[in-house]
């Protein structure tokens, strides 16, 4: 396996920041996200010789990561991760731009309200910039399913951000 890592390190290393972003968004815990990325890389390296050389490496890695995440959720017997206080560290300083901080908190809270399938497709397409076809490959669903989940996720997020947690419509200046 060491030989695989050395030769293919230039292929794998650029994918790590995206894998980490996705893991943090799914888990809301940096330490758990780092563990998930580590597990993803270990699994990928152990299966490296069996991967399709003509396949999309990024999509393959996201598939492994998501499958590991879902397996952990099933083992815990609960749906998704709780929003931890640590996520607030990622929100911009309110004194710099109070509106931006409030909006970021709304987006993070809104993501947590989405069903996992909608949250995953939104993160893969909107944050990680995967094409609809790549997201379909990662999620193991048809292209049309990706498009409908993305549409529902965007609609729910728009509604969540416009109304905020209180359900009252925010005044936009």
Q: pTM (2 decimals)?
A: 0.64
Q: What confidence score (pLDDT) does residue 104 get?
A: 59
pLDDT for position 100: 46
> What pLDDT was estimated at residue 109?
75
What integer pLDDT is reported at residue 2 of this predicted model? 42
In whole angstroms, what is the distance from residue 73 CA to residue 68 CA?
9
| Distances, alpha carbon 4 to alpha carbons 25, 64, 124, in Å | 29, 18, 27
Q: What is the pLDDT of residue 43?
A: 93
pLDDT of residue 23: 93
Report whether 121 contacts 152 (CB < 8 A).
no
Phi-psi sector, 93: left (phi>0), alpha (psi -120 to 50), beta = beta
Helix or strand (DSSP H, E) at 24: helix 16-27
Q: Write the burial class of residue 69 (CB in 10 Å: 0-12 exposed, 13-18 middle, 19+ buried).
A: buried
Ranges of the chain whose pLDDT falls below 50: 1-3, 79-98, 100-102, 166, 168-173
> So what's the pLDDT on residue 87?
39
Tell me what pLDDT residue 170 has: 47
């Amino acid at each position: 396996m060491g030989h695989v890592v050395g030769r293919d390190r230039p292929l794998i290393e650029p994918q790590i920041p995206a894998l980490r972003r996705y893991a943090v968004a799914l888990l809301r815990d940096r330490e758990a996200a780092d563990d998930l990325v580590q597990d993803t890389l270990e699994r990928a390296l152990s299966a490296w010789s069996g991967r399709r050389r003509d396949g999309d490496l990024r999509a393959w890695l996201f598939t492994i990561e998501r499958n590991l995440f879902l397996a952990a959720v099933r083992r815990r017997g609960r749906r998704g991760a709780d929003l931890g206080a640590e996520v607030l560290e990622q929100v911009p300083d309110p004194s710099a731009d109070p509106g931006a901080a409030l909006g970021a908190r709304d987006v993070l809270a809104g993501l947590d309200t989405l069903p996992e399938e909608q949250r995953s497709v939104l993160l893969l397409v909107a944050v990680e910039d995967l094409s609809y076809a790549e997201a379909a490959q990662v999620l193991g669903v048809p292209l049309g399913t990706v498009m409908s989940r993305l549409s529902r996720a965007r609609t729910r997020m728009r509604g969540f951000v416009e109304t905020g947690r209180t359900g009252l419509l925010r005044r936009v200046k």
